[in-house]
Amino acid sequence: MMFWIAAGVLTLACLAVILAALRNPPGTTVAPDVEVYRDQLREVDRDRARGTLAEAEAEAARAEVARRLLAADSAAQTRHTGWQGNVWIGGSLVAVLVLAVTAASYRYLGAPGYPDLPLGVRVETIEAARAARPGQAVAESEIPDQIDDSRPDITEMARQLREILQTRPDDLRGWRLAVQTDSGLGDLEGAWRAQDRVVAILGDQASGDDFALLAELMILAAGGFVSPEAEQALTEALRRDPGNGSARYYAGLMYAQGGRPDLAWPIWRRLVGDSQPDAPWLDPIYAQIEQVSAAAGDPTPLEQLPAPRGPSQDDINAMAELTLEERMSRIEGMVEGLSSRLAADGGPPRDWAQLITAYGVLGRLDAASAIYAEAQQVFAGDQGALDIVAGAADRAGLAK
């Protein structure tokens, strides 16, 4: 109601200004010829006072100018009276035009029938809708089954593994293998449930990566939808590891899906600047971030985003100061650390490929061959993953 009162007052004020302008147009209050005759009368009086004009001549001139002045003033009054008669017609037309444009604009841009919706109320409404979004089970029920059953032997192995794990609920290695096997077969629901069991077994020892993987599998199983259950896993991942790139990406995705681009945009902008150039989440961010930034009120083209970071200049300088033996020792330490992590926790195919390539560079072809063989078992049934590790084996110089 306050909006309409304010709008009505402003409309009336504008109409009053317009009507005043129509009633007294600038420069039409006094006719130009009337002003000229008045000047002539004053000039006659000055000439008579100076003695340059005789009394009789002055009276005759004054009478003639006065006659013309009266005639011009009468004509001006007639014109002004006619104009005043049209003021109300013009004002009415202006009022109708203003009201028509206002109504049409509101019908096109506004929301007739809805109450005022301040920003705070909008945010509360969005957050309420986000809190009430469908759960994981509902989201998964709407996604078609994508399990790969083209390899009956692998499918049977996965079934047997699940049966064995029912009697061995605390077998961490077995449940990790189930995560990899089910995800390789496209059974993403089975994969996230197995990862949920991994997290339960680890308890307080579970890392941010463990929770990030759980959230990612849940999101993929729901067709890219971030459910409340997946949000809980993301929250725990970021609590344990605030810099976890995967969890930060999906957190931004969650806010983008939930109508909060104002929260998604800063998360993704900082993540781009914190990421290595080959980070797997960069491409999906680049595909969406311009629209998200525009929706957040800060439209930013891709070329203005922070550049992904590489090794810092201090890292490069420190490596350059090492001897060849020290560099090789540093590299071998990194490689062994990667090998230990994959043996204990597993990892994506790119990490396995990186380890195979690193062993090839170091000339440790036996180790590269052993890792390649293990990777083939881990990713059996996942042709995309097998292609990645096979490419690494070729680069490492392993004979086929």
Show me where the domains of the chain are located: 2-109, 134-304, 313-396
Q: Count CB atoms within 10 A of the CB of residue 11.
A: 14
Predicted confidence (pLDDT) at residue 344 exceeds the cutoff of 90: no
pLDDT score recorded for residue 215: 95
Percentage of the chain beyond pLDDT 90 is: 23
| Higher per-residue confidence, 84 vs 138 | 138
Tell me: pLDDT of 50 over 50. Answer: yes
CA dist., res. 351 & res. 213, Å (int): 14
Yes or no: domain 134-304 corresponds to CATH 1.10.1040.10: no
Which of 206-209's residues contact partners 24+ apart within 8 Å by CB, and which partners? 206/240, 207/240, 207/241, 207/345, 208/237, 208/238, 208/239, 208/240, 208/241, 208/244, 208/247, 209/237, 209/241, 209/244, 209/246, 209/345
Burial class (CB in 10 A: 0-12, 13-18, 19+), 95: middle
- The mean pLDDT of 190-206, rounded to a whole number, is 93
The C-alpha atoms of residue 261 and residue 259 are separated, in whole angstroms, by 6
Q: What confidence score (pLDDT) does residue 331 get?
A: 67
Rounded to an integer, what distance in angstroms lies between the CA atom of residue 258 and that of residue 362? 48
Q: Write down the H helix ranges in the chain.
A: 2-23, 32-50, 55-109, 119-131, 136-141, 152-166, 172-185, 188-202, 208-221, 228-240, 245-257, 261-274, 282-295, 313-320, 324-345, 349-361, 365-378, 383-396
| Sequence-ordered list of residues with C-beta below 8 angstroms from that of 374, at least 6 positions apart, any chain | none
Which of the two residues, 339 and 215, has the higher pLDDT score? 215
pLDDT at 158: 84
pLDDT tops 70 at residue 192: yes
User: Average pLDDT of 100-125?
Assistant: 69
Question: How far apart are alpha carbons 101 and 236 in whole angstroms?
Answer: 54
46 pLDDT more than 70: yes
pLDDT of residue 119: 60
pLDDT tens string 306-333 = 766 545 556 556 656 767 667 667 667 7
pLDDT at 12 (0 to 100)? 75
Mean per-residue pLDDT, 71-97:
62
Could you give the CA distance from residue 96 to residue 11 in angstroms, rounded to a whole number? 11
pLDDT at 298 over 50: yes
Three-class SS state of 306: coil
Expressed in angstroms, the distance from the first to the final Cα of the chain is 79
121 versus 255: the higher-pLDDT residue is 255
- pLDDT score at 83: 46
If pLDDT is split at 50, 70 and 90, which confidence band does 111 have? low
Phi-psi region of 220 (alpha: psi -120 to 50; beta: other; left: phi over 0): alpha
What is the average per-residue pLDDT within 200-215?
93
Separation in Å, CA 137 to CA 175, 216, 227, 321:
21, 15, 9, 56
Given a cut of 60, whether residue 117 has pLDDT beyond it is no
Residue 384 tokens read as 């995309």
Task: Report the pLDDT value the prediction gives residue 393, as an integer from 0 to 100.
Answer: 85
- 114-118, 124-128, 243-247, 312-316: range with highest mean pLDDT: 243-247
**How far is CA 271 from each of CA 220, 242, 293, 310, 339, rounded to the nearest angstrom?**
21, 11, 14, 13, 27
Dist. CA 177–CA 191, nearest whole Å:
10
For residue 27, pLDDT over 50 is answered with: no
This prediction has a pTM of 0.54
Cβ 210 vs Cβ 222: under 8 Å:
no
Q: What is the DSSP string of 84-120?
A: HHHHHHHHHHHHHHHHHHHHHHHHHHS-TTPPP--HH
Contact 379, 343 (CB under 8 A): no
- Pull the structure tokens for residue 235: 């929250």
In terms of average pLDDT, the best of 91-100, 162-171, 225-234, 371-380 is 225-234
Give buried/exposed letters for 42-68 (b at 16+ CB in 10 A, else e): eebeeebeeeebeeeebeebbeebeeb
pLDDT digits (tens, 9 = 90+) for 165-180: 888 988 999 999 988 8
pLDDT at residue 265 above 90? yes
